[in-house]
Amino acid sequence: MSNNIKSWDIFISHASEDKELFVRPLEETLQRLDVSVWYDEFTLRLGDSLRKSIDKGLVSSSYAIVVISQNFIKKKWPEYELNGLISREIDKDRVILPIWHGVTRKQVVQFSPSLADKYAFDTERETAQDIAIKILREVRPDLYASHPRAEIERIASGEALRDLQHEFDRVKEELSEYLCPYCDASLHARLEAPFDDEQKHWGVREIFSCGYQVFGSSIEQLCPTDPQFPKFDEYELRYSNTPDESHWQWACIAVARTEMARLFKLSPSYGRTKEEVETKMRESYQRYAKRTE
Beta-bridge partners for 193: 203
Question: Which stretch of DSSP H or E encloses residue 10?
Answer: strand 8-15
- How many Cβ atoms are within 10 Å of 231's Cβ, its own excluded? 11
How would you class 221 by CB atoms within 10 Å of its CB: exposed for 0-12, middle for 13-18, buried for 19 or more? middle
B/e letters for 162-193, b = 16+ CB within 10 Å, e = fewer, are: eeeeeeeeeeeeeeeeebbebbebeeeeeeee
Catalytic residue among 27, 81, 138, 206: 81
For 42-127, list the strands marked E by DSSP.
43-44, 61-69, 96-101, 121-122
Look at residues 58, 60, 54 and name the one whose alpha carbon lies nearest to residue 8. Answer: 60
Look at residues 140, 142, 144 and name the one whose alpha carbon lies nearest to residue 152. Answer: 144
Phi-psi group of 19: left, alpha or beta (phi > 0 → left; psi -120 to 50 → alpha; rest → beta): alpha
B/e letters for 100-116, b = 16+ CB within 10 Å, e = fewer, are: bbbbeeeebeebbeebb
126 catalytic residue (yes or no): no
For 199-288, list the strands marked E by DSSP.
202-208, 213-215, 218-221, 235-241, 250-256, 269-271
**3-state SS, residue 48:** coil
- The Cα–Cα gap between 113 and 68 comes to 13
Q: Which one-letter amino acid corresponds to residue 87?
A: S
The catalytic residue positions are: 81
